[in-house]
């Protein structure tokens, strides 16, 4: 049983576990202490100072609640006139070094600094504005995320998540004091740094200093071009997160409203990335079973549907390229099918098709042109990738009453999917979907309904492993999410290889973002583990409600292979659905 300590907060005695911060202890008695630098995902950095509280009798010492653990008998005051005045002064100092262009900022009405300033009633600048003294840079070189250094409040969240949680080290603070700036090493462009475009820096930034690279205008122009045939596809995780922008309960599945909303925006057809996930599983499961039964020395097979992870592998672990599944990501498969199979079937000139992917991810913006394989239809397979946040803005701009529009169904056949396809959006989902089909490929039987769920691969533990029994055949699997966890797992595999031992795992799933795509860098702001769980729960509920829960049993998948692709891993499949990987430099300059 965990040890506890007694503390007094605003006159009320409570018990909390040893090691609890004052900030978290206060939440247990429904007291919110303001904070800018602290995020639930991240270790305390004590950067902003707005969370000060008084500790001790009398006036007490002022300590920062985010990084101070409670102690036995501690007497804490979280709010009084002096504390409020100090916090207000901290805000005024931050604002003295922050632009006042809220109306044209990407985070307007969704900014933590703006919200706190409103709560503290700040209506005029107490200190003179000193923006411009720092050597800030505007950096959009990755074409996935944008850094506006002048808006940085030096909270450290982006640096923390980039270095400690993603182990990429693309971002750091340079300089000292008032001359401190956020930048890659040597003030190079972000695209020349080790950045893998995961977008977790933007997802954790409290202000508008790091945001997604907005491409909504490009999509509006395509929709307005009468010569274009605009189609869209919806990623698994988008359907359970977009509702947060419209006041829905967390994890609400809005597939039907998304299809309807996209058609009202002007898209002529709406497909589902889940269908591409089903196609990915057919290729990847066959790839795994082939290696597992005929070439075990080439194991493990590692999944490849996450583009930030692909970039990380090519930069930091190129020795593992031979273990990488060559299968493309689901939205790329839908993209190439739209411009080949769908175009031919419907007598549409593929050069006129504009494919727009709605993704939870900023790295998808990079993926759509990362290599020549992304043009395997004869033109770019996916033309634009929008984040969940960008789509929410487009729906609001269009005047669509999203809460009250009718539901609609995706277009046949690229809009039809199985339950296995929808769970791709959660960590462990790709593995579970692959195991459902691998079972069939190995045993030539179908899983009974009572055994179709592999719950041992689910959950938010950073590295999960399990031994799966496939009708007497043991398969050792591992799942990692968050690139720092991925790095630890890969080093285990590399250590075994260096020692001349077999891999500890046969099959490995990797997602760059914690929680998988439900926690992607393009998702609505405010992500926490509680939010990730609810988004994932929405996907698992969708899976449970599907009549078909295995990719290989999807009628849409069967039709596409029968009418167009032929055999899994065959000539057409390899041409359209598979990749090559290459070692990349971590620093280009």
- pLDDT per residue over 554-588, tens digit each? 999 999 999 999 999 999 999 999 999 999 999 98
Percent of the chain at pLDDT above 70?
98
Domain range list for the chain = 4-95, 129-212, 217-577
Sign of the C-alpha dihedral, residues 325, 326, 329, 330?
A: negative
Does residue 134 register a pLDDT over 80? no
Are the C-beta atoms of 485 and 479 separated by less than 8 Å?
A: no
Q: How confident is the model at residue 180 (pLDDT cuts 50, 70, 90)?
A: confident
Confidence (pLDDT) at 59: 65
> Nearest to residue 302, comparing CAs of 125, 143, 506, 157?
506
Domain pair 129-212 / 217-577, same fold = no
Active-site residue among 284, 332, 432, 509? 284
Place 186 in a pLDDT band, splitting at 50, 70 and 90: confident
Give the model's pLDDT for residue 21. Answer: 95
Domain at 217-577: CATH architecture: 3-Layer(aba) Sandwich (3.40)
Is it the case that residue 502 has pLDDT exceeding 80? yes
Give CA–CA dist 250/530, Å, rounded.
10
Q: Which residues contact 235 (CB under 8 A, 6 or more apart)?
A: 273, 330, 331, 357, 358, 359, 360, 361, 425, 517
105 is a catalytic site residue? no
Calpha distance 399→387 (Å, rounded):
19
Peptide bond preceding 110 in cis form (omega within 30 of 0): no
Query: Is the pLDDT at 164 greater than 80, yes or no?
Result: yes
Q: Is the per-residue pLDDT at 178 higher than 90? A: no
With beta carbons less than 8 A apart as the criterion, state whether 128 and 174 touch: no
The tens digit of pLDDT for each residue in 503-546 reads 999 999 999 999 999 999 999 999 999 999 999 999 999 999 99
Element (H, E) at 507: strand 507-511
Residue 45, both tokens:
């950095």
For residue 127, name the pLDDT band (cuts at 50, 70, 90): confident
pLDDT for the residue 289: 95
CATH of domain 129-212: 3.30.70.20
Distance CA 246, CA 248 (A): 6
CATH topology for 4-95 is Ubiquitin-like (UB roll) (3.10.20)
Q: Would residue 373 show up in a list of annotated catalytic residues for this protein?
A: yes
Q: Is the pLDDT of residue 124 over 90?
A: no
Tell me: the pLDDT tens digits for 189-219? Answer: 999 999 999 999 999 999 999 999 999 999 9
Residue 325 appears among annotated catalytic residues: yes
Residue 133 has pLDDT above 70, yes or no: no
Give the pLDDT confidence score for residue 225 in this predicted structure.
97
pLDDT at 589 over 60: yes
CB neighbour burial string for 521-539, b if at least 16 within 10 angstroms, e if fewer = bbbbbebeeebbbbbbbbb
The predicted pLDDT at position 196 comes to 98
Of the chain, the percentage scoring pLDDT greater than 90 comes to 92
Give the per-residue pLDDT at 126: 80
Choose, from 325, 376, 418, 554, the residue flagged as catalytic: 325
Candidate list 112, 148, 373, 432, residue with the active-site label: 373
Query: Which residues share a beta bridge with 174?
Result: 181
Given the residues 134, 151, 291, 364, the one annotated as active site: 364
Q: Which of 287, 332, 509, 514 is catalytic?
A: 287
Percent helix, strand and coil across the chain, each to the nearest 5? 45, 15, 40
- What digits encode the pLDDT tens for the residues 243-300? 999 999 999 999 999 999 999 999 999 999 999 999 999 999 999 999 999 999 999 9
Q: What is the tens place of the pLDDT at every residue in 87-110?
A: 999 999 999 989 989 999 999 999
Give one DSSP letter per residue of 270-300, joined into a string.
EEEHHHHHHHHHHHHHHHHHHHHHH-GGGPP
| pTM for the structure as a whole | 0.95
Residues 302 and 318: beta-carbon distance below 8 Å: no
Residue 25 and residue 33 in contact, taking contact as beta carbons nearer than 8 Å: no
pLDDT higher than threshold 70 for residue 239: yes
* Catalytic residue flag (residue 287): yes
Q: Output the pLDDT for position 372.
A: 95
Residue 130 pLDDT class (50, 70, 90 cuts):
confident
């Amino acid at each position: 049983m965990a040890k506890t300590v007694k503390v007094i907060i605003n006159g009320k005695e409570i018990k909390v576990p040893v090691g609890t911060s004052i900030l978290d202890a206060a939440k247990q008695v429904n007291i919110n202490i303001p904070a800018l630098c602290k995020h639930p995902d991240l270790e305390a950095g004590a950067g902003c100072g707005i969370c000060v509280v008084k500790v001790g009798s009398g006036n007490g010492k002022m300590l920062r609640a985010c990084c101070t653990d409670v102690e036995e008998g501690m007497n804490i005051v979280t709010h009084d006139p002096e504390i409020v005045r100090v916090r207000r002064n901290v805000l005024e100092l931050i604002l003295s070094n922050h632009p006042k262009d809220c109306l044209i900022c990407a985070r307007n009405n969704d900014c933590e600094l703006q919200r706190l300033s409103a709560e503290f009633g700040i209506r005029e600048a107490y200190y003179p504005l000193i923006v411009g003294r720092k050597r800030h840079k505007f950096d959009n070189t990755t074409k996935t995320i944008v850094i506006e250094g002048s808006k940085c409040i030096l909270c450290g969240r982006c640096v923390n998540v980039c270095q400690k949680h993603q182990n990429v080290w693309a971002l750091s603070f340079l300089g000292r004091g008032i001359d401190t700036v956020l930048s890659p090493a040597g003030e190079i462009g972000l695209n020349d740094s080790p950045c893998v475009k995961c977008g977790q820096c933007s997802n954790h930034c409290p202000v508008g200093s790091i945001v997604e690279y907005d491409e909504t205008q490009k999509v509006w122009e395509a929709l307005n071009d009468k010569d274009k045939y605009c189609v869209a596809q919806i990623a698994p995780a988008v359907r359970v997160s977009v509702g947060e922008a419209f006041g829905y309960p967390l994890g609400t599945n809005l597939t039907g409203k998304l299809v309807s909303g996209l058609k009202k925006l002007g898209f002529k057809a709406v497909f589902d990335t889940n269908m591409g996930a089903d196609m990915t599983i057919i290729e990847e499961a066959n790839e795994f079973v082939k290696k597992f039964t005929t070439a075990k020395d080439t194991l493990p097979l590692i999944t490849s549907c996450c583009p930030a992870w692909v970039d990380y592998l090519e930069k930091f672990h190129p020795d593992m390229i031979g273990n990488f599944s060559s299968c493309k990501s689901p939205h790329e498969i839908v993209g190439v099918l739209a411009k080949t199979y769908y175009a031919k079937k419907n007598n549409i000139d593929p050069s006129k098709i504009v494919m727009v992917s709605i993704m939870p991810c900023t790295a998808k913006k990079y993926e759509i042109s990362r290599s020549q394989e992304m043009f395997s239809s004869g033109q770019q397979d996916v033309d634009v990738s929008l984040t969940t946040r960008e789509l929410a803005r487009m729906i609001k701009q269009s005047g669509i009453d999203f809460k009250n529009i009718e539901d609609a169904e995706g277009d046949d056949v690229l809009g039809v999917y199985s339950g296995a396809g929808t769970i791709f959006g959660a960590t462990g989902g790709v593995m579970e979907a692959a195991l459902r089909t691998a079972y069939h490929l190995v045993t030539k039987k179908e899983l009974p309904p009572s055994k179709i769920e592999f719950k041992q691969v689910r959950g938010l533990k950073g590295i999960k492993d399990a031994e799966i029994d496939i009708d007497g055949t043991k398969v050792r699997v591992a799942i990692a999410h968050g690139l720092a966890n991925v790095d630890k797992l890969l080093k285990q595999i590399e250590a075994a290889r260096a020692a001349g031992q077999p891999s500890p795992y046969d099959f490995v799933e990797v997602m760059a973002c914690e929680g998988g795509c439900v926690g992607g860098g393009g998702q609505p702001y405010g992500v926490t583990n509680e939010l990730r769980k609810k988004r994932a729960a929405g996907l698992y509920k969708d899976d449970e409600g599907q009549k078909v829960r295995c990719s290989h049993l999807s009628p849409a998948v069967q039709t596409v292979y029968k009418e167009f692709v032929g055999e899994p891993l065959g000539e057409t499949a390899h041409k359209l659905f598979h990749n090559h990987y290459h070692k990349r430099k971590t620093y280009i300059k």
